[in-house]
Amino acid sequence: MFRCPLCGASARIRTSRPENDSNTVRQKYYQCNNLECGVCFSTLEAFHKFTSKHASPIHSSEGIPLDLPLYFQTSVIT
């Protein structure tokens, strides 16, 4: 949750969109939940780093572990 920079109340995400082709940065548009404030603002959310290593190898083009059953890989992609 992101707080309103003006009044400090909670804010909700109205929409978001990717900022780059690798989908590691997103621009999010918020609206303050405080009815007396109601300001709209945007933030940038970015991938920073991995905090742990993945246990199994990942197929680089799909981002899906190779050891998953094929039916699961297909259902995740579609």
Q: What is the DSSP letter of 10?
A: B
Confirm whether 26 is domain-assigned.
yes
**pLDDT tens digits, 11-48:** 999 999 999 998 899 999 999 999 999 999 999 999 98
The reply to whether 36 falls in a domain is yes
Residue 4 lies in a domain: yes
pLDDT above 50: residue 76 = no
Amino acid identity for residue 53 in this structure: K
Q: Is the pLDDT of residue 54 over 50?
A: yes
Is position 77 within any domain?
no
Does residue 70 sit within a domain? no
For residue 55, name the pLDDT band (cuts at 50, 70, 90).
confident
Q: Please give the average per-residue pLDDT across 50-61, as a whole number.
A: 71
Structural domain for 24, as ranges: 1-48
Q: Is residue 53 situated within a structural domain?
A: no
The answer to whether residue 73 scores a pLDDT higher than 50 is no
Give the contacts of 44 (CB within 8 A, at least 6 positions apart): 19, 25, 26, 27, 28
Round to whole Å and give the CA distance between 50 and 54. 9
In a domain, 69, yes or no: no
DSSP annotation string for 17-71: EESSTTS-EEEEEEEES-TTT--EEEEEEE----SS--SS-EETTTTEETTS-HH
Number of domains in the chain: 1
User: Does residue 75 form part of some domain?
Assistant: no
